[in-house]
């Protein structure tokens, strides 16, 4: 048997399916295989379950879903396919079209399956597809998020789910409706009875609910779960993956998986060398757990698998938290305030600040080839932003150097090294647009989020807008059944990959607010089904 690592004397573990990771992709895959009667072992490297998923808002993009149908909203997989195809970078159809088709066909089935096999209950959100002018887009009906669930459903794991910050007391739908990050008191009063009930019962929403619900479903189907147990290498014999070597308490242990291995170990953003190779020179922060170090990528390379789309990532703005060193951050759209704009190194606005795909735009390379076109970028705001955004204020206190304050715009420009005249003119022009209610430059909406309100002229602040990895989106190239392929494109028997670990067929530009978790769960579902169906 070809092993990539030496093995100590620990007895092998046996199962039908080994699932690596415990985020939404992994748990959905494990739910499918265990519900079909296959003995399923989930190994998680970290001391907590749930990965980035547990920290997330759990907004889930699932086109043509049964909730939309029940609400009488028109949608279908053909339109969803047209939308995904229209949003894709040019040339991607040649390799990704079969995966787009598999995704739009299986996503509604995945959602129905998850609700039928867990206590998760989803509800639609009010969000539109962000690329609303593309063919097949919908103004509502594709975005969902779970209702709150008590943590105690996770049984012995109830205190072992990645602790979310903020605490997921509000559902995603409530976040959209009353914006507790900016108006905590009003939001608290609005939802007081529900919040009290959640505090008393330990119920939580968003990513915590998603992980609790999926995990409970897996435990009900007798899945085994091991924490602090990283998969380190694949076991391969005669070209067929037979399992993996895991590390338990510092000792190696083989896991023999009779049907196959599903890799769902997240992105490679915490692997400095791979990050530098695929995002050279990019200033960045990272908003995922530190355990996402691209282990699937390494394991797949070691058995001759193919990696693809390695320059793709889910980006957002972020606030440095310093939790796990200088790079660790919280993914927050802190700049979305009426009295805030984004400017580039020339002191000019470059985007509608409400643009959902801001992250991908921030890292877009300049045509000259000299790094990202808009970096370094800054959020220039009225000082009142710090008061309107308590979360920002909290982190600003912990990292004072992150925020630059000044009495006037020219003084601020000097402090952060932007051309004074240019920044002054940009702010004046934006303030004029606030008076007329028309942003002729980028069409920013005067109402809604972020809205428009004048900045300054006195007491202004600047915050660097550093691209923040939510996750990388490149990895093992797979077939439309989730099978990992080798460098010649031939599937490696017994090896599957899903979630942000896989080569993502959609890429950096999001087609919906939940365009990572919806597809991640769907690819988990597809991998699980492929193993069940053989
Ligand atoms: C604050 C925040 C809000 C977000 N909100 C949304 C949202 O509303 N909608 C949306 O679509 N996306 C959102 N995202 C992004 C989304 O959470 C992630 O893209 C998604 O959850 C990734 O899922 P995954 O299952 O692929 O990986 P993860 O959830 O990251 O899970 C990977 C797991 O694998 C484990 N692992 C790594 N290596 C090994 C190994 N060798 N052995 C065993 N285990 C291993 C990791 O420890 C981790 O637990 C958000 C992200 C953040 C940070």
pLDDT band at 18 (very low <50, low <70, confident <90, very high): very high
Distance 215 CA to ligand 1 centre (A): 14
Which H or E run contains 114?
A: helix 93-117
What is the pLDDT, as a whole number, of residue 395?
75
Is 494 or 373 the better-scoring residue by pLDDT? Answer: 494
Whether ligand 1 lies within 6 angstroms of the CB of 114 is answered as no
Closest-CA residue to 173 (of 118, 208, 126, 232): 126
Query: Which residue, judged by its Cα, is nearest atom 2 of ligand 1?
Result: 56
Cβ partners under 8 Å of residue 280, min gap 6: none
List, for residues 183-234, the tens digit of each pLDDT value.
Answer: 788 888 888 999 999 999 999 999 999 999 999 999 999 999 999 999 999 9
Distance, in Å, from the CA atom of 307 to the CA atom of 62, rounded to the nearest integer, reads 26
**What atom in ligand 1 is closest to the CA of residue 53?**
21
Distance 108 CA to ligand 1 centre (A): 21
Pocket test for ligand 1, best of 161, 327, 517, 519 (most atoms within 8 A of CB): 517
List, for residues 81-113, the tens digit of each pLDDT value.
Answer: 999 999 999 999 999 999 999 999 999 999 999
**What atom in ligand 1 is closest to the CA of residue 24?**
25
Query: Which residue, judged by its Cα, is nearest atom 10 of ligand 1?
Result: 514
Whether ligand 1 lies within 6 angstroms of the CB of 22 is answered as yes
- Residue 345's Cβ-count burial label (10 Å; 0-12, 13-18, 19+) is middle
Whether ligand 1 lies within 6 angstroms of the CB of 359 is answered as no
> CA torsion, points 197, 202, 208, 211, in degrees to nearest 10?
-120
pLDDT band at 2 (very low <50, low <70, confident <90, very high): very low
List, for residues 117-126, the tens digit of each pLDDT value.
Answer: 999 999 999 9
Distance 10 CA to ligand 1 centre (A): 30
Neighbouring CB atoms inside 10 A of 405's CB total 15
Distance 51 CA to ligand 1 centre (A): 5
Distance 367 CA to ligand 1 centre (A): 32
Distance 207 CA to ligand 1 centre (A): 10
**What atom in ligand 1 is closest to the CA of residue 206?**
8
Query: Which residue, judged by its Cα, is nearest atom 51 of ligand 1?
Result: 56
Q: Are 425 and 448 in contact (CB under 8 A)?
A: no
Within the chain, how many helices (H) and strands (E) appear? 17, 25
Distance, in Å, from the CA atom of 133 to the CA atom of 461, rounded to the nearest integer, reads 35
Distance 23 CA to ligand 1 centre (A): 5
Percentage of residues of the chain with pLDDT beyond 90:
79
Q: In what order do the strands lie in the sheet with 340-343?
A: 340-343, 378-382, 458-464, 404-408
List, for residues 424-444, the tens digit of each pLDDT value.
Answer: 999 999 999 999 999 999 999
Distance, in Å, from the CA atom of 328 to the CA atom of 319, rounded to the nearest integer, reads 9
Neighbouring CB atoms inside 10 A of 358's CB total 23
Whether ligand 1 lies within 6 angstroms of the CB of 433 is answered as no
For residue 135, pLDDT over 80 is answered with: yes
Distance, in Å, from the CA atom of 25 to the CA atom of 522, rounded to the nearest integer, reads 8
Vertex 466: Cα angle to 464 and 468 (nearest 5): 150
| Chain mean pLDDT for the chain | 93
Distance 467 CA to ligand 1 centre (A): 18
The SS3 call for residue 388 is helix
pLDDT band at 261 (very low <50, low <70, confident <90, very high): very high
pLDDT band at 9 (very low <50, low <70, confident <90, very high): low
Query: Which residue, judged by its Cα, is nearest atom 50 of ligand 1?
Result: 56
Q: Looking at the DSSP assignment, which residues form a beta bridge with residue 203?
A: 150
Is 512 or 25 the better-scoring residue by pLDDT? Answer: 25
pLDDT band at 149 (very low <50, low <70, confident <90, very high): very high
* Secondary structure of 298-365 as H, E, C letters: HHHHHCCECEECCCCEEEECEEECCECECCEEEECCCCCCCCEEEECCCCCECCCCCCCCHHHHHCCE
**What atom in ligand 1 is closest to the CA of residue 295?**
41
Pocket test for ligand 1, best of 53, 172, 469, 507 (most atoms within 8 A of CB): 53
Pocket test for ligand 1, best of 56, 210, 330 (most atoms within 8 A of CB): 56
pLDDT band at 180 (very low <50, low <70, confident <90, very high): confident
What is the pLDDT, as a whole number, of residue 1?
43
**What atom in ligand 1 is closest to the CA of residue 520?**
26
Q: Are 337 and 344 in contact (CB under 8 A)?
A: no
Find the mean pLDDT for residues 236-260.
96
What is the pLDDT, as a whole number, of residue 404?
93
List, for residues 280-305, the tens digit of each pLDDT value.
Answer: 988 899 999 999 999 999 999 999 99
Pocket test for ligand 1, best of 42, 266, 288 (most atoms within 8 A of CB): 266
Whether ligand 1 lies within 6 angstroms of the CB of 26 is answered as yes
**What atom in ligand 1 is closest to the CA of residue 162?**
49
List, for residues 468-515, the tens digit of each pLDDT value.
Answer: 999 999 999 999 999 999 999 999 999 999 999 999 999 998 898 767
For residue 258, pLDDT over 60 is answered with: yes
**What atom in ligand 1 is closest to the CA of residue 246?**
42
Q: Is the peptide bond before 255 cis (omega within 30 degrees of 0)?
A: no
Whether ligand 1 lies within 6 angstroms of the CB of 231 is answered as yes
Distance 270 CA to ligand 1 centre (A): 12
Distance, in Å, from the CA atom of 522 to the CA atom of 490, rounded to the nearest integer, reads 22
Strands (E), 148-302: 149-150, 203-204, 224-226, 231-237, 240-248, 251-263, 285-286
For residue 397, pLDDT over 80 is answered with: no
Whether ligand 1 lies within 6 angstroms of the CB of 347 is answered as no
List, for residues 327-347, the tens digit of each pLDDT value.
Answer: 998 888 888 899 999 999 999
Whether ligand 1 lies within 6 angstroms of the CB of 471 is answered as yes
Whether ligand 1 lies within 6 angstroms of the CB of 266 is answered as yes
Alpha helices by DSSP H, 404-446: 409-416, 420-436
Distance 266 CA to ligand 1 centre (A): 6
What is the pLDDT, as a whole number, of residue 89?
93
Distance 441 CA to ligand 1 centre (A): 36
Q: Is the peptide bond before 139 cis (omega within 30 degrees of 0)?
A: no
- How many angstroms separate the Cα of 133 from the Cα of each of 65, 80, 148, 157, 442? 21, 13, 33, 44, 15
- Is the entire prediction scored with pTM above 0.85? yes
């Amino acid at each position: 048997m070809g092993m990539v690592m030496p093995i100590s004397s620990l007895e092998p573990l046996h199962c039908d399916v080994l699932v690596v990771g415990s985020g939404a992709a992994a748990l959905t895959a494990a739910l499918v295989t265990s519900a079909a009667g296959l003995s399923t072992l989930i190994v998680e490297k970290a001391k907590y379950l749930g990965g980035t998923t547990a920290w997330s808002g759990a907004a889930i993009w699932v086109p043509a879903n049964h909730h939309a149908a029940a609400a009488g909203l028109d949608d279908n997989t053909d339109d969803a396919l047209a939308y995904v195809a229209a949003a894709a970078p040019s040339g991607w159809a040649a390799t990704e079209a079969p995966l787009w088709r598999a995704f739009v066909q299986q996503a509604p089935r995945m959602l129905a399956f998850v609700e039928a096999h867990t206590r998760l209950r989803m509800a639609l959100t009010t969000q539109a597809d962000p690329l609303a002018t593309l063919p097949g887009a919908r103004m509502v009906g594709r975005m969902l998020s779970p209702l709150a669930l008590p943590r105690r459903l996770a049984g012995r794991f109830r205190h072992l789910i990645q602790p979310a910050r903020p605490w997921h007391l509000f559902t995603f739908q409530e976040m959209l409706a009353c914006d507790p990050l900016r108006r905590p008191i009003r939001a608290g009063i609005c939802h007081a009875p529900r919040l009290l009930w959640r505090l008393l019962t330990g119920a939580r929403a968003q990513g915590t609910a998603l992980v609790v619900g999926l995990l409970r479903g897996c435990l009900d189907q007798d899945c085994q779960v091991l924490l602090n147990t990283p998969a380190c290498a694949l076991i391969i014999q005669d070209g067929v993956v037979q399992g993996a070597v895991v590390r338990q308490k510092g000792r190696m242990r083989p896991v023999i998986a009779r049907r196959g291995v599903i890799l769902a170990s997240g992105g490679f953003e915490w692997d400095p060398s791979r990050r530098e190779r695929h995002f050279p020179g990019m200033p960045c922060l990272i908003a995922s757990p530190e355990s996402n170090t691209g282990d699937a990528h390494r394991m797949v390379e070691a058995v001759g698998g193919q990696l693809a789309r390695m320059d793709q990532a889910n980006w957002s703005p972020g606030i440095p938290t310093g939790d796990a060193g200088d790079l660790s951050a919280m993914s927050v759209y802190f700049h979305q305030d009426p009295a805030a704009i984004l400017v580039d190194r020339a002191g000019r606005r470059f985007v509608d600040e409400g643009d959902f795909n801001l992250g991908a735009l921030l890292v877009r390379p300049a045509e000259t080839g000299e790094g990202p076109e808009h970096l370094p970028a800054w959020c220039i705001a009225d000082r009142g932003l710090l008061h309107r955004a308590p979360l920002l204020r909290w982190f600003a206190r912990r990292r004072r150097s992150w925020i630059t304050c000044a009495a006037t715009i020219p003084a601020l420009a000097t402090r952060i090294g932007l051309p004074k005249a240019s920044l002054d003119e940009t702010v004046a022009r934006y303030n004029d647009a606030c008076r007329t209610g028309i942003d002729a430059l980028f069409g920013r909406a005067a109402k809604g989020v972020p809205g428009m309100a004048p900045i300054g002229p006195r007491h202004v602040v600047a915050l660097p807008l550093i691209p923040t990895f939510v996750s990388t989106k490149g990895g093992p190239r797979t077939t439309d059944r989730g099978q990992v392929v080798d460098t010649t494109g031939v599937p490696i028997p017994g090896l599957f990959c899903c979630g942000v670990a896989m080569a993502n067929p959609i890429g950096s530009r999001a087609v919906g607010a939940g365009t990572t978790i919806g597809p991640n769960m769907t690819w988990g579902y597809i991998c699980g089904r492929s193993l069940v169906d053989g």
